[in-house]
Amino acid sequence: MDERGYIHLYTGNGKGKTTAAIGLAIRAVGAGKRVYIGQFVKGMHYAELDALKRFPEIEVRQFGLDCFIKNEPTPKDIDAARKGLDAVKLIIEENVFDLVILDEICIALHYKLFNVDEVLPILKTKPKTMEIVLTGRYAPDRLIDFADLVTRMEEVKHYYNHGVEARNGIEF
């Protein structure tokens, strides 16, 4: 069996990028692997955090503050994301985890909390057997080109467009 790790990218405007990454994390735990999830931009409580507490093999850290998506990021948002990028760099270098998920890293790139020239060198240090998953809308072309597997989630229809608000346990 091929033990090489690959870089996945889940992007696009459709729902399910983080959910797909968490599903992969649970599958990895089922195979005896250790998982690290670094969530960029996210700093609020989500039901996924409670679910993931049930898996001691999964470590989750959030590198966001409040939700700024409808506003501009503040210097504190930028600082939190940069500290997260530094933490992820160490996680990859230490090679303790089999699967590393960088949730919403593409959103962090989109809002210029850091840039792709800072991310690619970190990804290039990936140990041979480590799997890395990147998620978020607006993936830059250079990240798409670099990844081994790219899945673009396409929104075909969404109830949000008909006034349905985000629901606990479904969207957050």
3-state secondary structure of 134: strand
In a domain, residue 106? The reply is yes
3-state secondary structure of 47: helix
> What confidence tens digit (pLDDT) does each residue in 1-30 have?
668 999 999 999 999 999 999 999 999 999
Question: What span, in angstroms and rounded, lies between the C-alpha atoms of 9 and 97?
Answer: 18
Q: Domain total for the chain?
A: 1
Listed in sequence order, the residues at least 6 apart from 154 whose beta carbon sits closer than 8 Å to its beta carbon are: 12, 13, 14
In a domain, residue 47? The reply is yes
Q: Please, which pLDDT band fits residue 45 given cuts at 50, 70 and 90?
A: confident
> What confidence tens digit (pLDDT) does each residue in 133-160 have?
999 999 999 999 999 999 999 988 888 7
3-state secondary structure of 129: coil
Q: Please, which pLDDT band fits residue 169 given cuts at 50, 70 and 90?
A: confident
pLDDT the model gives residue 68: 61
In a domain, residue 172? The reply is no
| Domain housing 61 | 7-162
What is the percent of the chain where pLDDT is above 70?
Answer: 96
pLDDT the model gives residue 47: 87
* Residue from 149, 141, 98, 147 nearest 123 by CA: 147
State the pTM of this model. Answer: 0.92
> What confidence tens digit (pLDDT) does each residue in 65-88 have?
876 666 788 899 999 999 999 999
In a domain, residue 167? The reply is no
In a domain, residue 168? The reply is no
In a domain, residue 2? The reply is no
In a domain, residue 170? The reply is no
Indicate which CATH number applies to the domain containing 145.
3.40.50.300
pLDDT the model gives residue 123: 98
pLDDT higher than 70, residue 49 = yes
In a domain, residue 48? The reply is yes
